[in-house]
Amino acid sequence: MSDGIRCMLLRGGSSKGAYFLAADLPAGPAERNELLLRVMGSPDERQIDGLGGGHPLTSKVAVVAPSADPEADVDYLFLQVVPDRAIVTAAQTCGNLLAGVGPFAIERGLVPAAGDPTTVRIRIVNPAVSLVEARVRTPGGRVRYDGDTVMAGTPFPAAPIDLAFPGGPDPAFPTGARTDQLAGLTVTCVDAGMPVVLLRAADLGLDGTEDPADLEARTELRATLEAVRLAAGPAMGLGDVRDTTVPKLSIVSPPRHGGTVTTRTFIPHRVHAAIGVLGAVSVAVAVRTPGTVAPYAGDPVVRVEHPSGTFDVGVELEPDGAATRVRRSTVVRTARKIFDGLVWPRSGRATG
């Protein structure tokens, strides 16, 4: 470690993270996670001694490796490093960092640039294995990061990256119902790649357009939402979620700016400045299914309004009702390489 560890920092979607080849990290999860705490600067709410930015959206890690699956080119493991606690969790994936996996795989030589665009087949390995295709712009055989695609949640345009998710065999509503009663509230539990609990803003005494900082400052609201989340864990088959970052909680209300639904998403304790990719897919599934707590819309493209703009999600479902499965979903994201080089972890074990 005295010679540094090869690392690339990328903005992926509306998040930012450190990307590593699996071969450049310890093979054992415990040793790897302890190292990543020191790389990212946890536990410390500012992460002043590492790469992390003091927020869950900027304290993320992607680990990429060649895939043994004939249907994939690379494996992608997402790790959430908690800023102020010595916790690294693989309990969920991250659709935002996913946007940077294709460019990273091409940059590291795992996938050759083939025409323009180059398709990278990615196997997401946490927690349930799933596949996704990323189409990366590669004019002249090099990844192009600059472009004109403006993505809400990030202030500057970049080249588009098309992500297509095939559906899975499991129902999108893990409790077997389109609504459930949890901690005294009517909610919808949905998992279309990200476990999410949807709640009506009106049921919480909210308008639904509140600023994230306002929502985070409401102690009673946060306690109510945590009670719902803890009840949702066993109901969704996730077990005790006290020390995990799933499920997320999305507060939904009618659209205000020509979209389909307005959202405010707890991830799970801070409020997202936008919305996560797979979280948006889960919200879109609820919107496309009658009888959930979300406003219903039959259009196959769902425009999700969030604190910093909108996010379009294409969703194909089969069949209807509580047994609904996702046949296919599509989104457009962007990514940008920030640096490529070596990172030196702080010395000493991470405690706290």
CA dihedral over 80, 272, 14, 208, signed as positive or negative: positive
53 and 127 share a domain? yes
- Structure confidence by residue, pLDDT tens digits, 37-83: 999 999 999 999 999 999 999 999 999 999 999 999 999 999 999 99
With vertex at residue 342, the alpha carbon angle to CA 341 and CA 344, rounded to the nearest 5 degrees, is 155
Domains of the chain: total: 2
Cα 73 from chain centroid (whole Å): 21
144 and 237 share a domain? no
Task: Please indicate whether residue 74 or residue 153 has the higher confidence score (pLDDT).
Answer: 74
Is residue 83 included in any domain, yes or no? yes
How much is the average pLDDT of 102-113? 98
How much is the average pLDDT of 28-37? 97
Q: How far apart are CA 58 and CA 154, in angstroms?
A: 13
In percent, the amount of the chain with pLDDT more than 70 equals: 98
79 and 112 share a domain? yes
Is residue 173 included in any domain, yes or no? no
The CATH number that applies at residue 249 is 3.10.310.10
244 and 160 share a domain? no
Q: Which domain holds residue 68?
A: 5-168+335-343
208 and 125 share a domain? no
- β-strand pairing of 195-200 with 248-253: parallel
255 closest CA partner among 303, 214, 323, 193: 303
- Structure confidence by residue, pLDDT tens digits, 219-262: 999 999 999 999 999 999 999 999 898 999 999 999 999 999 99
Tell me which DSSP letter residue 150 carries. Answer: -
157 and 49 share a domain? yes
16 and 84 share a domain? yes
Q: Residue 352 — very low, low, confident or very high, per pLDDT cuts 50/70/90?
A: low
How much is the average pLDDT of 145-172? 92
pTM of the model: 0.82
218 and 290 share a domain? yes
What's the pLDDT at 239?
96
What's the pLDDT at 342?
98
Amino acid in the structure at residue 13? G
Q: How far apart are CA 34 and CA 26, in angstroms?
A: 10
SS3 321: helix
C-alpha distances (whole Å) from 326 to each of 17, 220, 280, 299 are 28, 35, 13, 15
Q: Residue 5 — very low, low, confident or very high, per pLDDT cuts 50/70/90?
A: very high
What's the pLDDT at 1?
62
277 and 186 share a domain? yes
SS3 292: coil
- Structure confidence by residue, pLDDT tens digits, 309-326: 999 999 999 876 778 999
